[in-house]
């Protein structure tokens, strides 16, 4: 029997839309409730305790819609708050780091993997640890073992990318100059795979790709996350068969501004009907 309950997705702003779009592509029959915490963005400059509190408040809000799954479409929240959210939630919870690490390990040819993320995510070392662990597992299985036997990981914090994404400055000279400055050290290291370790960063894919060049594979974690979501739907027999699934949007900031920035990316006349909500009223 089909389960038409929606999937709840949250991020600190519009970056999680890069994950949402991939979920729509992989699971077109699934309804979604998206919450962008734009008034409290960026999460990358907040403490672990603050991000955890925000994430638990976001969870409580999404649970009011009787969601069947929660997707933490934010790398910082995944790094700091996944365990707390997974413990508090009554449904499966998907984070973005583990799927991204797996994709990077499978993609590299020379074993040199770069990670760009917020300062908070880089500081936790969560991506580096996840990639290192996954490389060991895959190599033991004989998967891409020649590249993964001597893996080298290089990290770079790129905090201004979040601001550029939120402003809608995805492909202009300011974005290009910023990318050149941030990415120069990673280019010098000879990486062949670059993890976009913040869900805002795929909005800057064109600029990042131009700066890094055609030989560097960019890992959009949203694609990997969507695959994980599909697996959970299938394994738990909770997939929907809706032909016109619900797609609702909420933001903690100005809805009109949210839609103005987000609509060129999502297309299809979406988001529309975005509503304002304040999640800090939820006690955690």
Residue 90 tokens, joined: 């009554």
Assessment of whether the complete model's pTM goes beyond 0.85: yes
Say if residue 135 is in the same domain as residue 205. Answer: yes
Q: Pick the catalytic residue: 27, 105, 158, 198?
A: 198
Distances (CA, A) of 7 to 10, 33, 65, 153, 244: 10, 6, 9, 33, 14
Say if residue 227 is in the same domain as residue 217. Answer: no
Say if residue 204 is in the same domain as residue 235. Answer: no
Q: Which of 221, 249, 273 is the last residue of a domain?
A: 221
Say if residue 208 is in the same domain as residue 229. Answer: no
Number of domains in the chain: 2
pLDDT at 280: 87
Say if residue 164 is in the same domain as residue 61. Answer: no
Tell me the pLDDT band of 120, cut-offs 50, 70 and 90.
confident
Cα of first residue to Cα of last residue in the chain, in angstroms, is 34
The CA-CA-CA angle for residues 199, 204, 206, to 5°, reads 135
pLDDT at 269: 81
Find where tokens 């933001």 sit. 251
Domain that holds residue 268: 7-95+223-281
pLDDT at 69: 99
pLDDT at 270 over 90: no
Active site residue 105: no
Q: Pick the catalytic residue: 27, 74, 105, 158?
A: 74
pLDDT at 32 over 90: yes
Say if residue 29 is in the same domain as residue 106. Answer: no
- How many whole angstroms separate alpha carbon 79 and alpha carbon 127? 8
CATH number of the domain bearing residue 216: 3.40.50.1860
Tell me the pLDDT band of 177, cut-offs 50, 70 and 90.
very high
Residue 2 tokens, joined: 């089909």
pLDDT at 267: 75
**Residue 148: which residues within 8 A CB-CB, separation 6 or more?**
105, 108, 111, 135, 136, 138, 139
Q: Give 251-265 pLDDT, tens digit per residue.
A: 999 999 999 988 887
Say if residue 140 is in the same domain as residue 175. Answer: yes
Q: Give 230-243 pLDDT, tens digit per residue.
A: 999 999 999 999 99
3-state secondary structure of 142: coil
């Amino acid at each position: 029997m089909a389960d038409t309950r929606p999937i709840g997705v949250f991020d600190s702003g519009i970056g999680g839309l890069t994950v949402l779009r991939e979920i729509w592509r992989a699971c077109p029959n699934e309804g979604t409730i998206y919450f962008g915490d734009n008034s409290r963005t960026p999460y990358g400059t907040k403490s672990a305790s603050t991000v955890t509190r925000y994430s638990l408040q976001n969870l409580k809000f999404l649970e009011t819609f009787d969601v069947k799954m929660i997707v933490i479409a934010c790398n910082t929240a995944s790094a700091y708050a996944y365990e707390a959210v997974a413990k508090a939630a009554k449904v499966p919870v998907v984070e973005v780091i583990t799927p991204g690490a797996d994709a990077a390990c499978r993609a590299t040819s020379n074993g040199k993997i770069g990670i760009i993320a917020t300062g908070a995510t880089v500081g936790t070392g969560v991506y580096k640890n996840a990639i290192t662990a996954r490389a060991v597992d895959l190599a033991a299985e004989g998967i891409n073992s020649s590249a993964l036997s001597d893996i080298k990981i290089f990290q770079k914090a790129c905090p201004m990318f979040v601001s550029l994404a939120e402003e809608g400055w995805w492909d202009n000279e300011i974005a290009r100059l910023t990318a050149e400055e941030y990415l120069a050290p990673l280019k010098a290291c000879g990486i062949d795979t670059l993890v976009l370790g913040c869900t805002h960063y795929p909005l800057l894919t064109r600029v990042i790709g131009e700066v890094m060049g055609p030989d560097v594979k960019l890992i959009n974690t949203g694609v990997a996350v969507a695959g994980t979501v599909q697996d959970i739907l299938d394994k738990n027999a909770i997939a929907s068969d809706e032909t016109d699934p619900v797609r609702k949007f909420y933001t903690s900031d100005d809805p009109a501004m949210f839609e103005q920035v987000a609509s060129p990316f999502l297309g299809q006349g979406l988001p529309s009907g975005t509503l304002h909500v304040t999640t800090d009223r939820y006690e955690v």
